[in-house]
Chains A and B, each alone.
Chain A
Amino acid sequence: MKHLLSMDDLSLGELQHLLSLADEMSEIQKRAQPKVPALRNKTVASLFFEDSTRTRLSFETAAKRLSADTMTFSAASSSVNKGESLRDTVETLSAMGVDAFVVRHKTAGLPLAMTQWTDAHIVNAGDGAHQHPTQALLDAFTLTRALELGNSLAGVRIAMVGDIRHSRVARSTVRAFVLLGAKVTLVAPASLLPPSLIYSDTAETRHEWPVSTSHDLDEVLGEVDVVYLLRMQHERMNAAFISSVGEYALHFGLTPQRLAKLPHSFKLMHPGPMNHGVEIGVDPALVPGSLITQQVTNGVSVRMAVLLSLLGPAATSEMTKEEKNV
């Protein structure tokens, strides 16, 4: 694996390998000295063109625990604002000796384009509404470990609720859950489902979205083991995707009444940051099945696993082998 751009690029085997590697990483994190020399002399640069302190810190912590040097590129104070093209920025930073770029940008497909501009490894930390693969990995890791199912989610029934249409988390995490054998139901008003699911019910659509859909959260809640809430953005009102945030919360929010109907064993997930009172109307700290904090903790382990498998000794020796064969 040279890059991590999209969950579509990962086979079940590769996904399971990363989950197992994340187990080892989480062991390291529990040590008194949570640091190993695996990536000494490697440089990981984070390029965040969209604000996300939590994801950036999660990646940088992961890199530091593997002893990599880290570089932070902040779009706000950079020459991007002086009209430098993104490509020039990437080429300039590459020339300083970067081994891996962790990139977040509002433009879908940018991480893929970057692979043409640099020899470094690229990790997609979120591109538009397209993909956010490390979120999918940490979700899969968190849920499989919480349910103690090994590297599988066979038969687990999951409702993903909210703005699927604009969500890179949905596009990535649904793929991971389905690969691991889960049965996923997307719950949202039609306007917030991907258009192909509403307008073109073709074999192609069903292949891209191997899920069922529902517009009735109350009906679905009785039949699921896991509820995954997505963040609802207020701006969605502007293009008439929803009537109002209140109307959305009433029908698609996790209210105390809905919580009461769920079995004790159910698990609650959310990619953060949460909109309290919108998609979530209960205090997650008081929900026994909430995995939301574990998701954050596991984020570091999973990102360590990704960086290690891209940059670690195994990857290096393989690359040397290939070079000798040429």
Chain B
Amino acid sequence: MSSNKSILIIGGTVVNVSGEVLADVMIDQGVVQEVGPNISAKYAAENEGGPRRIDATSCVVTSAFVDLHTHLRENGRVESETIEKGSRAAVLGGYGAVVAMPNTEPAQDSVAVVEFVRMQGERAGLVDVVPSACITVNRAGLQLSPFHSLAQNGVTLYTDDGNGVQDPVIMRRAMEYAKELNITLMQHCEVSRLTEGAVMHEGCCSSHLGLPGWPSIAEVLMLQRDLELVRETGAKMHFLHLSTARSVELVRQAKNEGLPVTAEVTPHHFSLTDEKLSGFNTVFKVNPPLRTMEDV
């Protein structure tokens, strides 16, 4: 993606670790050389052999984002998304790298499938497509994925996203491998027995609509189990799309204790509530479900 020709990005709002500033950015050989207000004056015009100029007035200029959670659906559901289409969307949104979740068919539980995803990403050539792999074969929660083979082929992130790993034995063994191989497990925290048939948060709104509810405790219980397993095994663990206030509290506590855990929260979970579903609008039906005012 890098170009030998130097590029000057002019007049944008540069956002980086030190904040926001109105500045120009000079890039050469794919590397940022200088950031500062009005530095463009120092360089020759484009038609006089100077750098290529890009007007970024009223734009935000920043380093590329990384999306840790992308469902590219190739193979299996290519009518919904392909690696190429997903790459296009990513690059348009300012992303330089995306992690491909393993919910494909076949699932990303073997070196062959993982390599296919990586290759398709390279073929699209727009962003770095980083394949994750399953924790268990076909995300079925029964048999461990070939961690050694996958890790040897560079896979560092493992998840059964969409399915929480229900069996504590499987999860404990997976963590033993994770510690040994220095890889990270990502859990979709949901005790499935507590969410059978559920379509929205279990609470006032679901009680009123007569819809089977998805209790917060289904997330909290699995999170608590995994935190204890991390404490025991020392494996690195990332918790996907947490949705309850209690979950955030638990992760904060664990981090304070020095456990090697991280977590993510999505914008809709910290800005919208289950009230949005009171008119049965399925646009707001998400997994995990939108919670309550106390959680946002």
B209 on the interface (CB 8 Å rule)?
yes
- B203 contacts A196, C-beta separation under 8 Å: yes
Size of B's binding interface in residues, CB under 8 A:
14
Give the segment of B15-23, B107-115, B210-218 that binds chain A: B210-218
Docked CA distance A16–B207 (Å):
26
Find A131's partner among B196, B202, B210 (CB 8 Å cutoff).
B210
- B280 contacts A196, C-beta separation under 8 Å: no
- A196 contacts B196, C-beta separation under 8 Å: no
Shortest distance from the beta carbon of B283 to any chain A beta carbon, whole Å: 13
Query: Within 8 Å CB of A318, what residues of B?
Result: none
Docked CA distance A262–B222 (Å):
48
- B211 contacts A200, C-beta separation under 8 Å: no
- B204 contacts A166, C-beta separation under 8 Å: no
Shortest distance from the beta carbon of A298 to any chain B beta carbon, whole Å: 24
- B210 contacts A166, C-beta separation under 8 Å: yes
A-B contacts, CB under 8 A, total: 50
B93 on the interface (CB 8 Å rule)?
no
A202 on the interface (CB 8 Å rule)?
yes
Shortest distance from the beta carbon of A261 to any chain B beta carbon, whole Å: 31
B104 on the interface (CB 8 Å rule)?
no
Docked CA distance A199–B207 (Å):
11
- A130 contacts B279, C-beta separation under 8 Å: no
- A128 contacts B207, C-beta separation under 8 Å: no
Q: Quick one: closest A residue to B193, CB to CB?
A: A239
- B203 contacts A130, C-beta separation under 8 Å: no
Known: A108-B280, A112-B280, A239-B196. A196 touches B207 (CB 8 A): yes
Interface residues on A, range: 20 to 34
- A168 contacts B210, C-beta separation under 8 Å: yes
Shortest distance from the beta carbon of A95 to any chain B beta carbon, whole Å: 25
**Docked complex: A104-133 residues within 8 A CB-CB of B:** 108-109, 112-113, 128-131
B123 on the interface (CB 8 Å rule)?
no
Q: Quick one: closest B residue to A208, CB to CB?
A: B208
Known: A129-B210, A195-B213, A239-B196. A113 touches B203 (CB 8 A): no
Query: Within 8 Å CB of B206, what residues of A?
Result: 195-196
Find B211's partner among A130, A197, A239 (CB 8 Å cutoff).
A130
Find A108's partner among B204, B210, B213 (CB 8 Å cutoff).
B210
A204 on the interface (CB 8 Å rule)?
yes
A231 on the interface (CB 8 Å rule)?
no
Query: Within 8 Å CB of A167, what residues of B?
Result: 210
Render B181-212 as a binary contact track against A, CB cut-off 8 A, 1 for contact: 00000000000000010000011101111110
Known: A195-B202, A195-B215, A239-B196. A109 touches B209 (CB 8 A): yes
- B211 contacts A195, C-beta separation under 8 Å: no
Known: A109-B280, A113-B280, A239-B196. A128 touches B204 (CB 8 A): no
Query: Within 8 Å CB of B280, what residues of A?
Result: 108-109, 112-113
Across the A-B interface, the 8 shortest Cβ-Cβ residue pairs:
A129-B210, A109-B280, A194-B207, A196-B207, A130-B210, A196-B204, A195-B202, A204-B204
19 contacts between A and B (CB under 8 A): A108-B209, A108-B210, A108-B211, A109-B280, A112-B280, A113-B280, A130-B210, A130-B211, A166-B210, A168-B210, A171-B208, A194-B208, A195-B202, A195-B203, A195-B206, A195-B207, A195-B213, A196-B207, A196-B208
